[in-house]
Structure 1
Amino acid sequence: MELKPQPGMAETSVLERIEGRFGYATDQQHLPGLLHGAILRSRHAHARLLRVDTSRARLMSGVRAVVTAADVPGLNRLGIVVRDQPVLCEDRVRYEGDAIAAVAADTVEQARAALEVIDVDYAPLAVVDQAETAEQMSPLHGESNLLAREAFERGDTDAAFARCAVIVEHHYQTPRQMHAFMETEGGVAIPDNNGGVIFRVGCQSGHRDAEQLADILGLKPSQVTVEATPTGGAFGGKDELTIQPAAGILALQTGSPVLIHLDRFESCRTGIKRHPVSMIMTTGCDRQGRILAHRVDALLDTGAYASLGPAVLENFLDHATAPLYRIEAYSVSGRLVYTNNGVSGAFRGFGGNQATFAVESQLDALAEKLAMCPLALRRINLRTVDEPGSRGQVVRWSAPPTDVLAEAGASPLWAPAVSDARRRWLTGTGMAMGAQGNGLGDGLPDRGGGRVSLSAEGRIRLEFGFSDYGQNLAEAITCLVCETLGCVAGDIDVVLGNSRGPDSGPTSASRSSVLIHGVLADILPRWKDRVRDQAAVLTGLPCDQLYSGPGGLFAGGRQVLSYRELAEKGQPEQTRVDASQAFPVAPEGNQLVGRYLQLQIATVARVAVDRLTGRVRVTDLHHITAAGRVIYPPGYLGQIEGAAIMGLGMALSEDMPTRQGRYLADNLDQYIIPTLQDVPDQRVDVLDNTPTTDRFPVRGVGELGIEAVAPAICSAIEAATGIRVRHLPVDAGYLLAELCAQEETCS
């Protein structure tokens, strides 16, 4: 089934986003007494702090507070996995952009002017700027710059390699990518007049942020409220705390609301990046193409602080085991090291797409050596739906992998392109496959809850703790509720992202849609029964004659009670229903590896390569997806296509290289993201044979679309030119040199 935009399906919030009317956290400029905050950042990638003198800043016009590490009321550390990052640095800075002090003033200009007169004396230290030598350098934390080492093994890899007829070994490199979200990091901290603070911010887990902020501010958890506003993009970059600690400290110091909004330059310097990965991958097969052995040695640069690096390493290695394919023996290992190269952490794909780029490239290399069709090689090795996963775990595929491959093989993009008479543009088509699991996985605590109630205004109120940063959660919830209750969108209020509401867990790991569907399947039937019981008392009609519909309760085809009347005359407090559930795991419940719910994608790409410049233009992308039932088609389409564009950037243009710990790009005029001019024609097909009795018919697709884009593009480049690219982003100069070398050889 081809998924297409459907006119008339966009809800109000979608139109508000499109028209630029949707409110962001940083739009709250008119709060009474609002102050503006700014953060002083380190000018050095690595240095001792000898002196921080704020005396002149405190005397500046309009300045209401200046704070340093000594003013942090509680724990001066943040971090989801490892709390190793100072809120404000005490004696040492570890990357260019580390926070040293913060100012609150009447205007943004006054706050930034005050930063300029804070005197900081540094004693520069040796910069750890090469991940390859980081372990030999003086440690940035503890006793070593090795933050984590992990390995997965299965079978006797050496013996399996000894039996291989064909072995390929290549080095792969993926870039340090920037989120480049529309709304940079920001929000406001508001004193609640009872010693607590309310945060209205762009974030990905209000409950988790509230826990950290209570520790940092020295407050009780009940004194911190986080309201996660619909953000202008996140993709993992707002998983960690950003401006919240500094804004909260300043708000407590001044007793006034404090807004901090990073400009694009500051976001570029300090924002979370995708982990750059360097890896050597060796893969072998027999003469029939059956993969026998696979070895991976990877190095990930996590930067100055851990962030979610250890979890990214685990997910990278999980994907490096080639979960779609049957492999007799493998040994995959990875190291995660500290450097002074900014901070890397969560990013859409979460390490999986870096690994998939190399795995799929290896399969193409094997096929070339065997003179075999790459699709045929994959078909031989693809797992069946009844097989365990690559780590021996129980998995639940959304469709047979061979079905996804067959659809990719039938793509119209394989038809010959219209030839360029001058042969300036070389065209080619390639494909790659990818798998993506839902949920945190590997035994991590993973629960989510929700609530339904009837408001005083007679609205069906749905509450979840998830943040909605563009994945259309509100629309999906509305569709599911209307389908179950027979009501209309106008009957429903959706409240998301408040830490005082149900704890749904973080908006990450493509988990939100799965938990929303599961929780609603639990609470809506119970809510419907409670509402019908109350309506029966108020109307005198038997329960079995009443049913919910648009605007209220019906009997015999006519409305007998509106939801507003029910709220006014009934007992609306009795209509509140809560539920919480663990994220779906394998039936035996004791599986501590991998992710149970698995999604698949095959991406077919067509490219044109300019023989005069080496420039690559992607003209078409065709995605075949198997991700369960589609709840809200515009949202599904937007997630797949949007993620694919991020994959396009990773493949062709995006990188944040460093020199001596300093980023070489500081704005979007140097860091080039795809624009509408670069976006290819895209088609999204859905394989959905999900039975109505399936316990888990819905999956999250936030990360799926990025999974196979880069290897599909590189496969298409090879089809067009005969040149395989293994270092991303694709270097036009490298392609041009190789093309020239080919022409010289031919002549």
Structure 2
Amino acid sequence: MTTDRPASISTLAVDWGPEGQPGDTLYQRIDGQLDYPTDLLNLPGLLHGAILRSDQAHARLLAVDTRVARTMPGVHSVVTAEDVPGLNRFGIVVRDQPVFCEDRVRYEGDAIAAVAADTPAQARAAIAAIRVEYQPLPVVEDAASAENQPALHEGSNLLAQESLTRGDVDQALAACAVVVEHEYRTPRQMHGFMETEGGVALPDGNGGVLFRVGCQSGHRDVEQLADILALPRAQVSVEAMTTGGAFGGKDELTIQPAAGILALRTGRPVMIHLDRFESCRSGMKRHPVAVRMTTGCDARGHLLAHRVDAVLDTGAYASLGPAVLENFMDHATAPLYRIDSYAVTGRLVYTNNGLCGAFRGFGGNQATFAVESQLDALACKLGMDPGELRRKNLRSRQEPGSRGQPVRWTAAPATVLDAALASPLWQPGNPAGARWLTGTGLAFGAQGNGLGDGLPDSGGGRLSLTPEGRIRVEFGFADYGQDIAGAITRSVCDALGCGSADVEVVLGQSRGPDSGPTSASRSSVMVHGLLSRMLPEWTQTLKRLAAELTGQPAEDLAPGTGGLFLQGRRLIDYRELAGKAPPDALVAEAGQDFPVAPGQETPVGRYLQLQIATIARVMVDRLTGRVRVTDLHHITAAGRVIYPPGYLGQIEGAAVMGLGMTLTEDMPTRKGRMQRDNLDQYLMPTIGDAPAQRVDVVDDTPENDPYPIRGIGELGIEAVTPAIVSAIEAATGVRVRTLPVSPSALLEAIQAREAQS
């Protein structure tokens, strides 16, 4: 499969140079120069907190005896549900999770009490001394039957149900020449941050609290924490410290409520830092999904019908489960392809299987795994090349989306497919009798930016000149590795002609502008839009003030490195200008709504769309069934690249996370209990497992495009799983539909297939 690559496609590469780039925040993160939230150990009067968690998956809470713990050495405070000053509940969508359980525990890891002590060891000892009396209750562990079991919350265990339909699916299926029906299962994946959940709550001396924690939306955290602590919102502030990663797992409150209550009661800073065992047991996970898909086409391969029935296990509390279900549904309609009729149904259920919530891909990659596998199955049954089947059904750039909504692609889907089919990874297969079987597979994926479906999605930013003469750019986003700070710096430098040392980026402060959450790959879009609003006017103000101070015409002045220039000579530096300008004269603020499709009374789906085609090359050991991914080639169409290191890092990092979901990562439960408790049992890919990766960029973005920049934090994970399982099938003839791939099951299937041949 070789054709000439279209001229609009370039291969992305980053050369850090022998010394790296010490002023670059991405380099600083890689080099370990940035602080973790729990590095703050030199705070005067710092206490250490610990949380007592349930060791039962489901039980009545009959008694919690804290008397011994309160008298132990070094212990300053012990708190339970009765000590919560305000609302003993939190949750982004539904406030159904207790800060501390009152009468029932619903998962192994539910918080029951917390302690603040002089040392971590004293806090842990006090936690161990608390006596809890339980009355075990039946465990709801099977998501498929959860609706028919006793309710974990008021009502039933069905938290949410959605249906998306088009046409008459039964009639369309009857007209199909070829129909495939399969079940797919995806695992409960763990985020595996470098730093587990943690941070510090600091009383401000005036009855308020400052949180310096790992979080993904300081403003949203403030709303919930103020209600929990019974404080006005003005007395609660959050500084998001982002070293260590999040991937959605710190979107929800983690240690903040317990730390805040303890800080208020003791009047001293309180740090809580979960160890890996506690994080494995109580932390957020990816939703396991069980889905049955029935897909049909005519004899020429045109898709006619698509039926989906999915169950998502959200665990004991809602968190962002309803939004994950919505995004799964959107992707399950196969948004890249024309399908005459579909009926997509999804159910989100409560169980006692831990907690599930936001996770990179947000339900979309689970759906894409099944959709792309269905297309491969149809192609096999038709005797057609999988690429040709996709070509017949791909939407054009001008077509509406799968739900009839306007969409805005950054390139024609066919262009991305052409580039994928020209990948150098399409090589000949296995020599006869080889131990390692090799194969190459392809999958396509789409990802939208923004919260979607008309959800409130707005944000703001601020631009100013500091007394030190630095151009300060403030957004409420937290930068968890997408290096939005680097992209902001690059954008400001490009617009003003200044140097990176002139720019100071401030992110994640709840006292600053509310830019919305760090989620849904929305930050880059908002930053570009807001800077486009603020920079032109701010630059004119800068020049006007400099002209007043120097007596030179404003139109002859130009900003640059260190100050403003006249005919190539620096006339006044930024610091002098800041010192002489009137207060607040050089402050600009702007706000905007996230772009949605025009002409819709109620927006449907996501307007700004991205694409990725991933080609995977694998080797499968015929003796053990072990799979090794040797190469990944990603063709991306995601708008203009403004910061290559961040773009490349996001695509490659997301792909490795998808590699783990495909081959090794799973957190199974038995009677509600997690069966893995550390990274020696929960196997995440290491640098030794990472394949060689190439990232190509399709960029046909016009200069006058109003939305040239897109967020790519989730794009790299979208198609990697179906590409790998397609490559496994090319190598072995065996299609895997349950993840992660089991080497023993794969080996057994290979041997059975070889015995028949």
Q: Shorter-normalised TM-score: what interval?
A: over 0.9
Counterpart in 2 of 1:366?
378
Within 5 Å, give how 1:371-382 maps onto structure 2.
Answer: 371-382=383-394
Kindly report which structure 2 residues correspond to 1:364-403, keeping only aligned pairs within 5 A, or say none: 364-403=376-415
Q: 1:59 maps to which residue?
A: 71
Q: Kindly provide the amino acid, as one letter, of the partner of residue 729 in structure 2.
A: E
2:582 is aligned to: 571
1:182 equivalent among 185, 194, 199: 194
Contact kept, 8 Å, 2:26 with 2:646, in 1: the verdict is: no
Which of 694, 711, 729 does residue 700 from structure 1 map onto?
Answer: 711
| Aligned 8 A contact 1:272 1:343 in 2 | yes
SS in 1 for 2:753: helix
Tell me the amino acid that sits aligned with residue 471 of structure 1.
Q
Is the contact between residue 596 and residue 603 of structure 2 (CA under 8 Å) also seen in structure 1?
no
Deviation at 1:14, TM superposition (A): 2.3
The equivalent of 2:248 in structure 1 is 236
Instruction: Work out which of the residue numbers 16, 30, 39 in structure 2 matches 1:7.
Output: 16
713, 725, 734: which one pairs with 1:723?
Answer: 734
Q: For residue 396 of structure 2, give the secondary structure of its aligned residue in structure 1.
A: coil
Equivalence for 2:316 = 304
User: Partners of 2:28 and 2:706 in 1: how far apart?
Assistant: 34
2:129 equivalent in structure 1 = 117
Give the structure 2 partner of residue 709 of structure 1: 720
Partner residue of 1:453 out of 464, 471, 488: 464
8 Å contact 1:393–1:591 — kept in the other structure?
A: no
| Alpha-carbon distance, 1:21 to partner | 2.1
Question: How far did 1:351 drift?
Answer: 0.2
The residue number in structure 1 matching 2:6 is: none
CA distance in 1 between counterparts of 2:81 and 2:427 reads 63
How many percent identity over aligned positions? 70
Partner of 2:179: helix, strand, or coil? Answer: strand
Stretches of structure 1 that go unaligned for 5 or more consecutive residues are none
**2:117 partner amino acid:** A
Q: Give structure 1 regions of 4+ aligned residues with deviation exceeding 3 angstroms.
A: 8-12, 419-422
Partner of 2:106: 94
Please tell me the residue identity of whatever aligns with 2:348: L
Q: Which amino acid aligns with 2:726?
A: S
Match of 2:153 in 1: 141
Matched, 1:159 2:168: no
Shift of residue 415, structure 1, vs aligned partner? 2.0
Aligned-partner SS, 1:636: helix
Local SS of the residue matching 1:573: coil
Deviations 1:226-269 (Å, cap 9, x if unpaired)?
00012311000000000000000000000000000000000000
- The corresponding residue for 2:345 is 333
Does residue 526 (structure 1) correspond to residue 537 (structure 2)? The answer is: yes
- Aligned pair partner of 2:686 in 672, 675, 694: 675
Structure 2 residue aligned with 1:318: 330
**Contact kept in structure 1, 2:597 and 2:603, CA below 8 Å:** no
In 2: Cα distance, 1:321 partner to 1:742 partner:
33
Change (3 A) 1:681 1:420: farther
Q: CA deviation at 1:6?
A: 2.5
Q: Which of 655, 669, 672 is the equivalent residue of 1:658? A: 669
Provide the C-alpha distance between the structure 1 equivalents of 2:14 and 2:276, rounded to a whole number of angstroms: 32
Q: Once structures 1 and 2 are overlaid, which stretch shifts more, 710-719 or 18-27?
A: 18-27
Amino acid at match of 1:180: G
Instruction: Output the CA distance in 1 between the equivalents of 2:435 and 2:51.
Output: 51
1:551-590 equivalences under 5 Å are: 551-588=562-599, 590=601
Match of 1:29 among 38, 41, 61: 41
Give the alignment partner of residue 79 of structure 1, picking from 91, 100, 119.
91
- State yes or no: 1:640 paired with 2:651: yes
3-state SS of paired residue (1:333):
strand
Query: Aligned equivalents of 1:511 and 1:326: distance in 2?
Result: 27
Return the offset for 1:571: 2.1
- 1:515 and 2:526 aligned: yes
Pairing partner for 2:493 from 478, 482, 489: 482
Please report how far the alpha carbon of residue 61 of structure 1 lies from its aligned counterpart in structure 2 after TM superposition.
0.1
The match for 1:545 among 556, 562, 570 is: 556
Q: Per the alignment, in what secondary structure is the counterpart of residue 612 of structure 1?
A: coil
| Pairwise CA distance, 1:290 | 0.2
Structure 2 gaps of 5+ residues are 1-9
- In the alignment, residue 529 of structure 1 is paired with which amino acid? Q
1:421: Cα distance to partner? 7.6
TM-fit CA distance, 1:416 = 2.2
Shift of 1:89: 0.4
Shift of 1:162: 1.1
Q: Does 1:169 align with 2:181?
A: yes
Describe the superposition over 1:122-159 as per-residue Cα deviations: whole angstroms up to 9, x where unpaired: 00000001111111111000121010110000011111
Q: Deviation string for 1:544-564 (max 9, x for gaps)?
A: 111101100011111000001
Q: Tell me, in whole angstroms, the C-alpha distance in 1 between the residues paired with 2:301 and 2:225.
A: 54
Q: For residues 654 and 755 of structure 2, what CA distance do their matches in structure 1 show?
A: 39
Q: By how many angstroms is 1:422 displaced? A: 5.5
Q: Over aligned residues, Cα RMSD in angstroms?
A: 0.9
- The CA distance in 2 between the partners of 1:18 and 1:422, in whole Å, is 44
Give the deviation of 1:741 after TM superposition.
1.3
Aligned residues: 745
Distance in 1 (alpha carbons) for counterparts of 2:271 and 2:642: 37
Q: CA deviation at 1:745?
A: 2.2
3-state SS of 2:243 partner: coil
* Equivalent residue letter for 2:474: E
Matched, 1:649 2:657: no
Contact 2:114 2:258 (8 Å CA) reproduced = yes
Alpha carbons 1:455, 1:572 under 8 Å: kept: no
Verify the 8 A CA contact 1:175 1:276 in the aligned structure 2: yes
The Cα of 1:91 is off from its aligned counterpart by 0.6
Amino acid in the other structure paired with 1:206: G
Residue pair 1:566, 1:572 contacting (<8 A) in 2 also: no
Q: Residue 68 of structure 1 aligns with which residue?
A: 80
> How many Å separate the matches in 2 of 1:463 and 1:420?
58
Larger mean CA deviation between 250-259 and 20-29 belongs to 20-29
| Pairing partner for 1:204 from 204, 216, 222 | 216
Deviation at 1:24, TM superposition (A): 1.0
- State how far apart, in whole Å, the 1-side matches of 2:550 and 2:79 are: 62
Contact 1:601 1:626 in 2 (8 A): yes
Q: Distance in 2 between matches of 1:290 and 1:473?
A: 41
Q: Name the TM-score, length of structure 2 as normaliser.
A: 0.98
SS at match of 1:413: coil
- CA gap of 1:79–1:132, structure 2 versus 1, over 3 A, is same
- Aligned pair partner of 1:194 in 182, 191, 206: 206
- Tell me which residue corresponds to 2:7: none
**2:4 corresponds to:** none
- Structure 2 matches for 1:43-58, cutoff 5 A? 43-58=55-70
Question: How far apart, CA to CA, are the structure 1 residues paired with 2:677 and 2:668?
Answer: 11
- What is the CA distance between 1:438 and its match in structure 2? 0.1
| Structure 1 Cα separation of the partners of residues 587 and 446 of structure 2 | 39
**Which residue among 506, 511, 514 is the counterpart of 1:495?**
506
Q: Is residue 534–residue 571 contact of structure 1 (8 Å, CA) maintained in 2?
A: no
Residue identity matched to 2:229:
L
Structure 2 residue identity aligned to 1:526: E
3-state SS in 1 of match to 2:595: coil
Equivalent residues in 2 for 1:413-428 (5 A)? 413-416=425-428, 423-428=434-439
Q: 1:247 aligns with which of 256, 259, 266?
A: 259
For residues 433 and 302 of structure 2, the distance between their equivalents in structure 1, rounded to whole angstroms, comes to 41
Residue 610, structure 1, aligned to residue 617, structure 2: no
Report the residue type matching 2:11 in the other structure: E
Shift of 1:610: 0.2
Q: Distance in 2 between matches of 1:21 and 1:531?
A: 33
Instruction: Look up the equivalent residue of 2:596 and give its one-letter code.
Output: V
Q: Tell me the amino acid that sits aligned with residue 554 of structure 1.
A: F
